[in-house]
Amino acid sequence: QKEVEQNSGPLSVPEGAIASLNCTYSDRGSQSFFWYRQYSGKSPELIMSIYSNGDKEDGRFTAQLNKASQYVSLLIRDSQPSDSATYLCAGHQAGTALIFGKGTTLSVSS
């Protein structure tokens, strides 16, 4: 069974700090990865996608992909209380749907 693994947390950071969320995957053939944010009681919403090794930046968010080490990370700079949510990592497994991790809960304290 190919998997995407995340530390469930909770990860607690103070307002203004950098939050670092990590994800590892078992399928070496995975080519595309996605980060979703899910507020309590709501559905997941896409915040970042990454397909190539290296960094991809979008505002306060940076996704990092290292295919050799099979990990994906999400950095949130200048964390805000509104960033408090569960973050889901997903990777694509050939021939089927995305594989989702169970999510990491982030808590940003003001």
Task: Check binding of 43 to another protein (CB under 8 A).
Answer: yes
Q: In the set 14, 15, 32, 55, which binds another protein (CB under 8 A)?
A: 32
Number of residues located near another protein, criterion CB under 8 A? 20
Q: In the set 68, 69, 82, 97, which binds another protein (CB under 8 A)?
A: 97
Burial class (CB in 10 A: 0-12, 13-18, 19+), 48: buried
Nearer to another protein, 71 or 100 (CB): 100
Q: In the set 14, 18, 46, 78, which binds another protein (CB under 8 A)?
A: 46
Tokens of 11: 């990860």
Task: Check binding of 40 to another protein (CB under 8 A).
Answer: no
User: To which H or E segment does residue 37 belong?
Assistant: strand 33-38
Tokens of 57: 């930046």
Task: Check binding of 22 to another protein (CB under 8 A).
Answer: no
Q: Is-contact 19 70, C-beta < 8 A?
A: no
Burial class (CB in 10 A: 0-12, 13-18, 19+), 40: exposed
- Give the footprint of another protein on this chain (CB under 8 A): 31-32, 34, 42-46, 49, 88, 90, 92, 95-98, 100-103
